Amino acid sequence: MAQISAQRVGGAHTSQAHDERISNARLREIMSDLLPKFGDQYWSNHVLVGVRRQTLARQLYFAELYKLILDVPGVVLEFGVQWGAGLVQLINLRGMHEPYNHTRKIVGFDTFSGFPSVSDSDGGESEVGDYSTFENYEYLLEEILTIHEGYSPLNHIRKFELVKGDATETSRLWLDENPHATVSMAIFDMDLYQPTKDALEAIIPRLTKGSVLVFDELNSPHFPGETRALNDVLGLNNIRLHRFPHQNYCSWAIWGEQ
């Protein structure tokens, strides 16, 4: 039987068999060599040879989530962006499902310097600075998102925003500055108790029946703070949680669902 062990990589907690870690390292090495050889025109198609099952599962999950809000007006808020993979998927999904809906603004919140603080409610495995990027990465990410938005109609209208800082403060500030905004979907991927609790409390007045609340680390022994925050704000007994079969810790709830 393959040996399975828990490890911490760049702030991430993962349980992988030894042979899987070897395969991941080799695949990354192969892709680093192949990428310059794919050519200028179809390189983004050919990089799919390096997409793992887990990555594809994540993409399918986001696609299912986006379908839930097609008839729900409002912005999409992602709390916890890091490198921006989620935001890119959301922008591309908007471009496929509702390319002319210029009111579907997508807003990403992150410190871009990792966890600003960790509390006792977070279980003791997380550290300040986990999930950091690099200095001024948000400017490069802004360029990346602009390019992706440019592949869809109405690309002269900017329909995304990056908000840098601790979501405990920036979530309420953004809502105050955007009194018109209703929230169709909020994705919580900050892993920690305090910012999750504060951001969730902040957006509740902007939800409508049918709004989707997404939690990336529920029932996770590595990040208990997210479950605690949800329980303290809404009460686990008061909501119906759904899951996607290929994302172990991911759950969502539809606001107003009985």
Q: Which amino acid is at 23?
A: S
Q: What is the pLDDT of residue 9?
A: 53
Rounded mean pLDDT, 7-17: 60
The CATH class for the domain spanning 52-254 reads: alpha beta
Q: CA dist 48 to 26, 34, 91, Å?
A: 16, 11, 19
Mean of pLDDT over the chain: 93
Q: Compute the chain's Rg from CA coordinates.
A: 19
Q: Residue 200 in contact with residue 230, Cβ under 8 Å?
A: yes
pLDDT band at 223 (very low <50, low <70, confident <90, very high): very high
Q: Tell me the CA distances in angstroms from 8 to 13, 126, 190, 197, one per residue in order.
A: 5, 10, 17, 25
Question: H/E element holding 110?
Answer: strand 106-110
For the chain, which residues make up each domain, given as ranges?
1-50, 52-254
Question: Which of residues 7 and 69 earns the better pLDDT score?
Answer: 69
Taking CA atoms, 184 is separated from 69, 201, 208, 243, in Å, by 6, 15, 7, 18
Q: What local confidence, expressed as pLDDT, does residue 4 receive?
A: 42
Q: Give the pLDDT confidence of 91-136 residue by residue, as tens digits.
A: 999 999 999 999 999 999 999 999 999 999 999 899 999 999 999 9
Structure confidence by residue, pLDDT tens digits, 162-204: 999 999 999 999 999 999 999 999 999 999 999 999 999 999 9
> For residues 257, 222, 194 and 163, what is the CA-based torsion angle, rounded to 10 degrees?
-80
Does the pLDDT at position 14 exceed 80? no
The pLDDT assigned to 245 comes to 93
* pLDDT value at 8 more than 70: no
- Cα separation, 149 vs 144, whole angstroms: 9
H or E element in which residue 187 lies: strand 183-188
Asked if residue 10 has pLDDT above 60, the reply is: no
pLDDT-derived band at 13 (thresholds 50, 70, 90) equals: low
